[in-house]
Amino acid sequence: MPAADRRSTPPRAVPLIVTVFGDAVLPHGGRVWLGSLIRLLAPLGASERLVRTAVYRLAREHWLRAEALGRRSDYLLTDFGRRQFEAAERHIYAGGHASWDGRWRMLVMLPAKWSTAERAHLRRSLAWQGFGQLDGNVYLHPGAPLEESLAALDTEDFPRLREKIFALTGTGPGDRHAIVRAAWDLAELSRAYGAFVRRYRPLAPAASAGLEPERAFVVRTLLIHEYRRLLLRDPGLPGELLPANWQGSKARALCARLYRALAAPSQAHLRAVLRTAEGTRPALSRGFARRFSAP
């Protein structure tokens, strides 16, 4: 069995459920019966107790909400969760690097009273969206849509955070590569991408030959889980801002190749297992076919 398909310990339950929701549940409407989710995660090493605990935590953090139907419950994405997942979906499955117009998108923290929780939420949310931090108060990105970035900050706990932030777009005389080095650690990330390639490249022959449905789902989930973890640290910079010999491009090409090979058998497993609380099989969105398509 290839190394990438063999684990001594399973991934932690909360980030694993985030991966499964984004990769498997969201393209099926973003709703799943808890019992079905437990069954999906069992071959990945997550026990029923761990799944229930993790889902409760995600609901408490406003990513998911429960909807009861008799003695059963569906879990579905909140508005906040859906915005975060849809932004991540574009980041993960869209093709290629966008060209840069030479302008920086900046979010500046105004000199207002900031709680520790607000600062932590801002830092996590903007890092999720690829923003780098130049100092304690300035976040920037070369292409992020600022209005969408501000909207993604809104939660029940932080409903008016954008009122403390000033957004602007502009150019500057500084060395753009020096700015990138100050805001992001791309050297370490490139090394991590290289390790991902070495780990998953041996799976390509077996994936191309065809795997049985449950194993294909497991490999697909682990593949995207690890790739997503790297992308959470990847700002998605245009090619002209990336360092030489950037390993992220090789990792993306390999991930796309494996994902396309695993899509059909893993979807067969999802058709067999994925259900809502009503017992219905949620339909697959048309957008799924565009994942990792050529740009």
The pTM is what?
A: 0.80
What whole-number distance in Å separates Cα of residue 126 and Cα of residue 100? 20
Instruction: Spell out the residues 6+ positions from residue 183 whose beta carbon is closer than 8 angstroms to its own.
Output: 132, 133, 134, 140, 235
pLDDT, residue 97, reads 66
Which residue stretches of the chain have pLDDT < 50?
Answer: 1-2, 6-8, 295
- DSSP for 166-222, written as a single string: EEEEE--SS-HHHHHHHH--HHHHHHHHHHHHHHHGGGHHHHHH---HHHHHHHHHH
Q: And the tokens for 152?
A: 């993604």
Give me the pLDDT at residue 2, please: 47
Whole-number pLDDT of residue 5: 56
Q: Could you please state the CATH topology (level 3) that the domain comprising 104-170 is classified under.
A: Alpha-Beta Plaits (3.30.70)
For position 8, what pLDDT does the model report?
Answer: 45
Could you tell me the two tokens for 111? 């000199």
Q: Phi-psi bin for 158: left (phi > 0), alpha (psi -120 to 50), beta?
A: beta
Two structure tokens written together for 240 = 């002209």
Per-residue model confidence as pLDDT tens digits over 24-71 = 999 999 999 999 999 999 999 999 999 999 999 999 988 999 999 888
- Residue 187 has a pLDDT of 92
Q: Would you put residue 181 in left (φ > 0), alpha (ψ -120 to 50) or beta?
A: alpha
Are 271 and 239 within 8 A, CB to CB? no
For the chain, which residues make up each domain, given as ranges?
104-170
pLDDT of residue 4: 53
pLDDT in tens, 179-190: 999 999 899 999
Give 72-126 as a DSSP string.
Answer: EEEEEE-HHHHHHHHHHHHHHHS-SPPP--S-EEEEEE-SS---HHHHHHHHHHH
Q: In what order do the strands lie in the sheet with 165-170?
A: 132-133, 138-141, 104-109, 165-170
Q: Is 162 exposed, middle or buried (0-12, 13-18, 19+ CB in 10 A)?
A: middle
Residue 223: CA count within 13 A, CB half-sphere = 33
Q: At 51, give phi and psi (nearest 5°).
A: -65, -45
Taking 3-state DSSP, the helix, strand and coil percentages for the chain, each rounded to the nearest 5, stand at: 55, 10, 35
